Amino acid sequence: MAALLKKFRIDATDLNVINTFGRPPKRETITEFNRYVTNIKEDNSGQRGLINEVGTFSA
């Protein structure tokens, strides 16, 4: 990890450790994320955006 940080010139103090990785996001976090990506998501008009919903497939 230290080698990668050095290679990309990232100071270790710039890192934020996410210690809630295994837990689902809070409703507020999902709402905030959706607010940020609204303008770049695919819309119903068929206009393709940079982000679109990914479906799940059953075997």
Residue 47 lies in a domain: no
In this prediction, residue 7 has a pLDDT band, given cuts at 50, 70 and 90, of: very high
Residue-number span of the structural domain to which 26 is assigned: 2-40
Kindly state the average pLDDT of the residues 11-21.
87
Within a domain: 16: yes
In a domain, 11, yes or no: yes
Is residue 42 pLDDT above 70, yes or no?
no
Has residue 10 been placed in a domain?
yes
> How many angstroms separate the CA atoms of 20 and 25, rounded?
9
CB 24 within 8 A of CB 14: no
The mean pLDDT value of the chain amounts to 79
The b/e string for 12-36 (b: 16+ C-beta within 10 A; e otherwise) is eeeeeeeeeeeeeeeeeeeeeeeee
Is 30 part of any domain?
yes
Domain total of the chain:
1
Q: Which residues pair with residue 41 across a beta bridge?
A: 51
55 is a domain residue? no
User: What value does the mean pLDDT take over residues 25-50?
Assistant: 78
In a domain, 46, yes or no: no
Cα separation, 9 vs 21, whole angstroms: 25
